[in-house]
Structure 1
Amino acid sequence: MRPTVTIIGVGNMGGAMAANLLAQGWAVQVCDIDPARVADLEKKGASVLAVPAQAAMNSIAFAVCVVDAVQTEEVLFGAQGLACMLQPGHTVLLCPTIAPQDVESFATRLAALGVHTVDAPMSGGPARARDGTMSLMVACPAAVYEQQAGLLQALSGKLFRISETPGDGARTKLVNNLLAGINLVGAAEVLALAGRLGLDPERTLDVIEQSSGQSWIGSDRMRRALAGDYAPRAHVTLLEKDTRLAVEAARAAGFEGPLGARTSQVFAEAHEAGLAGLDDAAIFKHLASR
């Protein structure tokens, strides 16, 4: 049996990460507010925690895989958060997509407890998290990276060492997700246009996938959209949040691009149109209805 890892937040990505580690023989503790999520992982061999503060002291790392900075604050420093039991030398992996300044703030507060921070946002979706081929963008001191290399390599077949400074992983993830959002809105727009021009959207997508307009997220989401499949894998609200954070980071750096802000606005519009709980493929539904 390999060492123990604690994962707080076992939704689509955190749950897939936990399943991947369990399949490799790691001991995994999980905690989530959704009983069905933890029950499924318990059947696979995970130990279930009622609250983060119950995590085992011998965990080699504590991975936080919740949605945003508010939830991260609660998991780390809430009344029953990890800070209640963390000891000097422990390591926390911050995996959510949150603002760089929030990562920096969490890292500073954890450092005051003698706890290391690995800024490790993830990308690739649940299927790739489950089979260990997702991307991890890692920013942490070299000594901490070496200490956690076995776990990081078990989680990701595409491991990118960004820098030694927590916060830079978050910056990289926001840049990536802004482009993902731009590509998704672009793909949805052109397929909605294809339909309005009297073209077969599926045949049009066949052409795009083998031509200069191809993008991975466009193909992945538009295939689902054209099939009418909007069951949420990644809710509209996730890229709404991520593109908003990316635009805020750009403005803070004094950069104003032509596409980012408009893309972020499209996701906000889709939310307001009642599509927030659907898969982000619903951007096609939103644009096609105009």
Structure 2
Amino acid sequence: MNIIYKFKRGECYLLTKDARIGFIGTGVMGSSMAKRIMHAGYSVSIYTRTKQKAEALISAGADWEDSIADLAKKCTVIITMVGYPSDVEEVYFSDQGILKNASKGSYFIDMTTSKPKLAIQIAKEAEKKGCLALDAPVSGGDIGAKNGKLTIMVGGQEQAFHDVLELFQTMGDNIILQGEAGAGQHTKLANQITIASNMIGVCEAIAYAKKTGLDPERVLDSITAGAAGSWSLSNLAPRMIKGDYAPGFYVKHFIKDMKIALESAEELGLSTPGLALSLRLYQELEANGEADSGTQALIKLISTQQ
């Protein structure tokens, strides 16, 4: 039996281990995130467009639902981790979507990197239904998702944040409420703007080290510990050196994020030349057939331009 928490704008469930968690989108990131929730003792229902991609989670004990509507009707908390803003809109606003099928008092947590305006819209519609919505995009890649070490950037009402904090803690260890609805998405866009220029620098550094005849792994031993240190340098540069371009985060999804960030920056009247350059280079990389590669594949493009 779920305990009811009396909230000033409706009735919301106080999250306990008896709560059933719905997870929509079980790709590279979502699959590991859902697994962390299951390992923490929660009952999890899952849905993704291609059931085959969810077989590992089903084998591990997750319950498969045949539709978003079926999942929404059964779950107290519904987490979405899909690809694009258009997917978020479909998952939440279609006739078979979350908003039309979830019970009053449910929590909606969109962990997709999406548009801040869309996060605000979801929160407003959720409130009308007597539910609470949080936008909570993440950073940390496949490694962070597997190890439960994600950074989770949250926007929404403070009470909702505290109600589901224990759930967030199964997936991440740097979890910060940034402000009202949309604030999580704005924070993630700031994160992606930072990474965009940094990735160019990481690729150029590895290409330079190789060109001079240095051992790039030994170079990394020096520069990762100094002022040049960054997550991308420590985690993605070694993959570049080994020629490992498997996706921890897809090129195509990074392009999506950068486009959203560039659009948002332009709306604010802010110039972001580093972001614009990175977007152009990644679009060129995508045109070369690397859309489904990891973002570290940018080294291929940088190396050929030397």
TM bin, normalised by shorter chain, reads over 0.9
Tell me the amino acid that sits aligned with residue 108 of structure 2.
V
Aligned length: 289
Q: Structure 1 stretch 230-239 or stretch 122-131: which is displaced more?
A: 122-131
Given the alignment of the two structures, is residue 64 of structure 1 paired with residue 80 of structure 2, yes or no? yes
The answer for the alignment partner of 2:60 in structure 1 is 44
Task: Describe the superposition over 1:139-183 as per-residue Cα deviations: whole angstroms up to 9, x where unpaired.
Answer: 1112222322332233322111111x1101000000011111211
1:16–1:127 Cα contact (<8 Å) kept: no
1:212 counterpart = 2:253: no
Q: Aligned partners of 1:281, 1:154: CA distance in 2, in Å?
A: 27
C-alpha root-mean-square deviation of aligned residues, in Å?
1.7
Summarize the alignment of residues 1-290 of structure 1 with structure 2, pairs less than 5 Å apart.
2-55=18-71, 57-163=73-179, 165-290=180-305
Does the Cα contact within 8 Å between 2:142 and 2:249 map onto a contact in 1?
A: no
Q: From the superposition, tell whether residues 205 and 150 of structure 1 become closer, same or farther in structure 2 (CA, over 3 Å).
A: closer
Q: Shift of residue 54 of structure 1?
A: 0.5
Contact 2:99–2:125, Cα closer than 8 Å, also in 1? no
Unmatched 5+ residue regions in structure 1?
none
CA contact (8 A) 2:135 2:155 kept: yes
For residues 189-212 of structure 1, give each alpha carbon's deviation from its aligned partner in whole angstroms, at most 9, with x where no partner exists.
Answer: 122233333433333333322332
CA distance in 1, matches of 2:224, 2:196: 18
Aligned equivalents of 2:72, 2:230: Cα separation in 1: 42
TM-score, length basis structure 2: 0.89
Q: Which runs of 4+ in 1 moved over 4 A?
A: none
- Tell me, yes or no, if the aligned pair for 1:53 and 1:83 is still in contact at 8 Å: no
Whether the 8 Å contact between 1:208 and 1:214 is mirrored in structure 2 is yes
TM-score (normalizing by structure 1): 0.93
Question: Residue 58 of structure 1: CA displacement?
Answer: 4.9
- 1:34 to partner: Cα distance: 2.5
